[in-house]
Amino acid sequence: MKDHYGRKINYMRLSITDLCNLRCVYCMPEEGVEKRPHKKNLSFEEMIGLVNAGVGLGIDKIRLTGGEPLVRNGIVELVKEIAQIKGIKDLTMTTNGILLAKYAKDLKAAGLNRVNISLDTFAPEKYHKITRWGNVDDVFAGIEAAEEAGLKPIKINVVLINGFNDDEIETFVNYTRENKVDVRFIELMPLGQSPGFAENKYISNDEVLKRMPELKPIVQREKSSPAEYYRLPGAKGRIGLINPISKHFCKECNRIRVTTDGKIKPCLHSNQEIDVLALRKEGMTYEEILLKAIEEKPEKHHINENEKQLLRNMNEIGG
Ligand code: SAM
Ligand code: SF4
């Protein structure tokens, strides 16, 4: 299905919990988030209802995200049910990888195609600091388990943070020499909790190209991916640059996001939301609700024009 601006919307990102087993400082408050009563969150049945309706309207790519999707009880069952919906070409998950060693095999068997794993640093103490308590060895074990299970191609997401991990740009890029993974640098976004944190820690992804001039562009932009891809000569893996701040990709935006409490966000950088549970109570079908959300999708975001502060934290939206 196409929106007002001729963009084909075929990608749904579903945040299946806003709870998490880490507390990345740019994403969540240290005390975590309060657990909502069950009925205020989408149930698995309601999520599947939305996905089914979305597929009927042309959605063929689903990403499960969060919070941390692997802390949600019944995750493997949910993957299995979504994987059985005919018409989905790509079923993926974004995870911090901490529990992946435990779940990778079962997720693959249930029908998950691949995973994006977030890892902002290779250094154990720095990882502990940015996540407030995580153990980076769990993520390495998760990456290995995902590879073994065939959840490929693996993409590693690195939020670039000035003064924290810009000194590891070379290390991350060199990691792709021997590892067949995509390492994708993401610009730090001023959302929810993070504006204070992000203020002097944002750096543009241009820094990656400045530090590693040997990187050669492969394709400017893959269809349906916001990343621009590069490769070191002879490297097995690729480097992706995701530049929501320095070069927004609104023109090619093909996605809608659904929060855990059932709000459709037509645009990540806007406070506009469509309340699925309220509209269901008014008698609208999932299909009608999705069409309304797509109808209301804005042409572009105004993040660089100091739009009023974005209210939700990333753990509620899913990235
Ligand atoms: N817990 C999972 C994880 O960390 O991969 C999935 C949810 S997390 C919100 C999804 C992605 O959003 C992660 O790659 C995370 O690093 C990124 N993220 C969170 N807050 C961000 C921010 N303020 N700017 C840029 N990326 C952010
Ligand atoms: Fe949790 Fe992911 Fe947010 Fe980190 S980025 S606090 S792992 S939801």
CATH number of domain containing 60: 3.20.20.70
Query: Over the Cα atoms of the chain, what is R_g?
Result: 19
Check residues 169 and 199 and name the one with the higher pLDDT: 169
For the CA of 194, the nearest atom of ligand 1: 23
pLDDT of residue 5: 85
Q: Please give the Cα distance from 117 to 158 (Å, whole number).
A: 9
Q: How many CB atoms lie within 10 A of CB 162?
A: 14
Q: What is the C-alpha separation between 276 and 280, in angstroms, rounded? A: 6
Ligand nearest to the CA of 118: 1
Residue 284 lies in a domain: yes
Q: Is residue 312 very low, low, confident or very high in pLDDT (cuts 50, 70, 90)? A: confident
Dig out the tokens for 88 from the structure. Answer: 């989905």
Q: Is the pLDDT of residue 89 over 70?
A: yes
The answer as to whether 205 is a domain residue is yes
Per-residue confidence at 304, pLDDT binned at 50, 70, 90?
low
Helix, strand or coil, per DSSP, at residue 95: strand
Task: Output the pLDDT for position 79.
Answer: 98
Q: Residue 267 above 60 pLDDT?
A: yes
- Average pLDDT rounded to a whole number, residues 197-226: 86
* Average pLDDT of every residue of the chain: 92
Query: What's the pLDDT score for residue 202?
Result: 92
Q: Which residues line ligand 1 (CB under 6 A)?
A: 20, 26-27, 65-66, 68, 94-96, 118, 157, 159, 186, 188-189, 191, 194, 314-315, 318-319
Is residue 30 over pLDDT 60?
yes
Whether 175 is covered by a domain: the verdict is yes
Give the pLDDT confidence of 211-224 residue by residue, as tens digits: 999 999 996 556 66
Tell me, what amino acid is at 6?
A: G
- Of 138, 143, 19, which Cα lies nearest the Cα of 71? 19
pLDDT score at 220 = 54
Q: For residues 230-256, give the mean pLDDT.
A: 91
pTM greater than 0.85 (yes/no) = yes
Domain range for 16: 11-317
Ligand 1 atom having least distance to the Cα of 15: 7
Q: Cα–Cα distance between 269 and 260 in angstroms, integer?
A: 17
Ligand 1 centroid to Cα of residue 115, in Å, is 14
Within the chain, strands assigned E span: 11-15, 61-65, 90-95, 114-118, 155-160, 182-187, 216-219, 228-231, 238-242, 255-258, 263-265, 274-275
Strand ranges, E, within 227-298: 228-231, 238-242, 255-258, 263-265, 274-275
Does 314 sit in the ligand 2 pocket, CB within 6 Å?
A: yes
Res 225: pLDDT: 78
Three-state DSSP class for residue 121: coil
Tokens of 35: 């657990």
Could you say which ligand is closest to the alpha carbon of residue 142?
1
Res 309 pLDDT > 90? no
Strand-pair partners of 12: 62, 256
Give me the mean pLDDT over the 246-256 stretch.
Answer: 86
Ligand nearest to the CA of 134: 2
Closest C-alpha among 153, 57, 75 to residue 113 = 153
Q: Which two tokens stand for residue 107?
A: 């997720």
Asked if residue 292 belongs to a domain, the reply is yes
| Identity at 279, one-letter amino acid code | L
pLDDT at 41 over 60: yes
Per the domain annotation, does 3 fall within a domain?
Answer: no
Ligand 2 atom 8: residue of nearest CA:
67
What pLDDT was estimated at residue 195? 66
Does residue 118 contact residue 67 with C-beta atoms inside 8 Å? no
Given the CA of residue 157, which atom of ligand 1 is nearest to it? 14
Residue at 1 is within a domain: no
CB 11 within 8 A of CB 297: no
CA–CA gap between residue 191 and residue 212 (Å, rounded): 29
pLDDT at 298: 84
Q: Whose CA is nearest to atom 10 of ligand 1?
A: 319
Considering the domain boundaries, does residue 165 fall inside one? Answer: yes
Please report which confidence band the pLDDT of residue 247 belongs to, taking 50, 70 and 90 as the band edges. Answer: confident
pLDDT at position 307 = 52
> In angstroms, rounded to a whole number, what is the distance separating the alpha carbons of residues 234 and 256?
36
Residue 2 inside a domain? The answer is: no
Overall domain count for the chain? 1
